[in-house]
């Protein structure tokens, strides 16, 4: 599972690896707030929406982390990816009226 919905999911780790378990516990502390920051950024963008690249540059978060947060927010129904609009080759995301 490459994403975390902190309200219902736990980060995966190898059950027989204390290093993996420790890393998952440390990551758990920032995934929730990081997802909230990404959602807040998209909310502030309003009708303009945004791309993962734009969010990464604006928030100073790696593209891979932005991708994971967008996927989680999309699965939770907070973001929707446009099937037709692209900017600089990147899909545009918009906040849903949840």
Residue 69 confidence (pLDDT)? 92
Is 50 exceeded by the pLDDT of residue 87?
Answer: yes
Domain spans of the chain, in order of start: 20-95
Q: Are 1 and 13 in contact (CB under 8 A)?
A: no
* Domain covering 20-95, topology: Arc Repressor Mutant, subunit A (1.10.10)
Q: Is this model's pTM higher than 0.85 or not? A: no
Counting DSSP H helices and E strands in the chain, the numbers are 3, 3
Is 50 exceeded by the pLDDT of residue 6?
Answer: no
**Rounded-to-integer distance, Cα 83 and Cα 93, Å:** 9
The more confident residue out of 15 and 38 is: 38
Q: Are 5 and 72 in contact (CB under 8 A)?
A: yes
Residue 38 confidence (pLDDT)? 92
Residue 77 confidence (pLDDT)? 87
**Rounded-to-integer distance, Cα 73 and Cα 38, Å:** 9
**Rounded-to-integer distance, Cα 53 and Cα 87, Å:** 9
Q: What is the pLDDT of residues 19-71, one digit of tens each?
A: 555 655 665 555 688 888 999 999 999 999 999 999 999 999 999 999 999 99
């Amino acid at each position: 599972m490459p994403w975390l919905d902190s309200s219902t999911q736990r980060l995966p780790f190898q059950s027989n690896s204390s290093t993996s378990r420790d890393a998952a516990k440390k990551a758990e502390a920032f995934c929730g707030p990081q997802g909230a920051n990404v959602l807040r950024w998209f909310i502030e963008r309003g009708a303009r929406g945004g791309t993962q690249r734009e969010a990464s540059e604006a928030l100073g978060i790696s593209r891979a982390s932005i991708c994971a947060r967008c996927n989680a927010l999309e699965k939770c129904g907070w973001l929707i990816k446009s099937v037709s609009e692209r900017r600089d080759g990147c899909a545009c995301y918009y906040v849903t009226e949840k």
